[in-house]
């Protein structure tokens, strides 16, 4: 079954930069307060990174997490990679996204292609400065007619009386959303550390799916919500429905990403952006099978 992926590991950035992964603690940045980050928060708060011998410091960096990775300020990020309605329902409308070129904008491009619409001709796409809460305000105030809004902000919007047009996860469009990324130099020089991070992250994916109550407590802490109905909806979406049960890299998802980036990226080989040897090594070690995969 085709899914909208939210827990894909290690999209690689082929730049040669000075490597700082040996510093303690290892720094992982995330770019949005979204339920998509739940496994990362679970891995930190339940001690699963520490269990595998890596001291992790999580940092929220809105909008510029990839830049922090390239600058060597963090060693991993969960962020946008560089970085159904009838078609007449959208014509002539203004659609908001958090930042032009980020994941919501690229997914919107795939949706528009699916519906035969062109930005700039059939509708306008506007980048709203800030994050999901600011985009939600822009929609509710009528500054834009609709927005690409993720949980929990979408549930807040519904409670405010807004209508959900479409759940992109139901459209069968393979796409990578906020992958955990690192540099090639980090894998080359600190492979053992990268493998430890993957072990902790994979166990967090399993715990997120199996321990609903524990995951929801952690979710409430990071998204700063107490509404049990919204928290339950966010967990159902990002803890189960859209959470990939393994950490294999989906090549079709990378193809969707490259397609959304434009004509200059369409011809790129998707396999050059991942290091499949990492998952293969964990397979050989029996790591996955020992945990009921």
The sign of the CA dihedral 225, 228, 233, 237 is positive
pLDDT at 209 (0 to 100) = 93
pLDDT for res 148 = 82
**Tokens 């890596």 sit at which residue?**
54
Whose tokens are 């990071």? That residue is 222
Helices of type H across the chain: 38-45, 48-51, 65-70, 103-114, 132-140, 153-159, 184-189, 191-210, 212-223, 228-234, 251-261, 263-266, 277-284
Question: What pLDDT does 163 receive?
Answer: 75
Distance CA(56)–CA(24), nearest Å, equals 8
pLDDT tens string for the chain (293 positions)?
334 333 333 333 332 223 444 446 888 888 778 888 999 999 999 999 999 999 999 988 876 676 777 677 888 887 765 443 344 667 788 888 887 777 777 778 777 877 778 888 888 888 887 778 888 888 888 888 888 877 777 777 777 777 777 676 666 666 666 778 888 888 889 999 999 999 999 999 999 999 999 999 999 999 888 888 888 988 988 888 888 888 887 777 777 667 666 666 667 787 777 888 999 999 999 998 888 65
Model's pTM, two decimal places? 0.67
Whose CA is closest to 203, among 50, 79, 60? Answer: 50
Q: Which domains does the chain have, with CATH numbers?
A: 4-81+176-291 (3.40.190.10), 87-165 (3.40.190.10)
Torsion of CA 145, 60, 15, 101, to 10 degrees: 0
SS3 label, residue 76 = strand
Dist CA 78 CA 9 (whole Å): 9
């Amino acid at each position: 079954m085709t899914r909208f992926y939210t827990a894909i590991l290690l999209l690689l950035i082929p730049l040669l930069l000075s490597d700082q992964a040996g510093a303690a603690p290892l720094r992982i940045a995330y770019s949005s307060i979204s339920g998509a980050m739940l496994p990362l928060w679970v891995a930190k708060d339940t001690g699963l990174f520490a269990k595998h011998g890596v001291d992790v410091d999580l940092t929220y960096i809105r909008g510029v997490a990839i830049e922090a990775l390239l600058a060597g300020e963090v060693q991993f990020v969960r962020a946008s990679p560089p970085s159904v309605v009838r078609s007449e329902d959208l014509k002539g409308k203004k659609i908001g996204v958090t930042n032009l070129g980020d994941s919501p904008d690229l997914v919107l491009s795939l949706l528009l292609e699916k519906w035969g619409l062109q930005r700039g001709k059939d509708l306008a796409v506007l980048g709203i400065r800030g994050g999901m809460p600011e985009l939600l305000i822009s929609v509710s105030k009528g500054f834009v007619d609709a927005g690409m809004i993720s949980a929990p902000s979408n549930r807040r919007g519904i409670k405010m009386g807004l209508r959900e047009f479409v759940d992109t996860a139901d459209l069968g469009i393979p796409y990578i959303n906020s992958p955990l990324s690192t540099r090639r130099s980090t894998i080359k020089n600190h492979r053992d550390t990268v493998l430890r991070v993957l072990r902790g992250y994979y166990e967090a994916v399993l715990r997120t799916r199996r321990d609903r109550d524990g995951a929801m407590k952690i979710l409430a802490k990071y998204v700063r919500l107490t509404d049990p109905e919204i928290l339950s909806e966010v967990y159902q979406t990002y803890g189960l429905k859209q959470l990939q049960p393994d950490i294999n890299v989906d090549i079709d998802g990378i193809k969707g990403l490259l397609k959304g980036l434009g004509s200059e990226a369409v011809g790129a080989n998707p396999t050059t952006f991942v290091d499949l040897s990492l998952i293969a090594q964990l397979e050989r070690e029996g790591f996955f099978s020992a945990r009921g995969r």
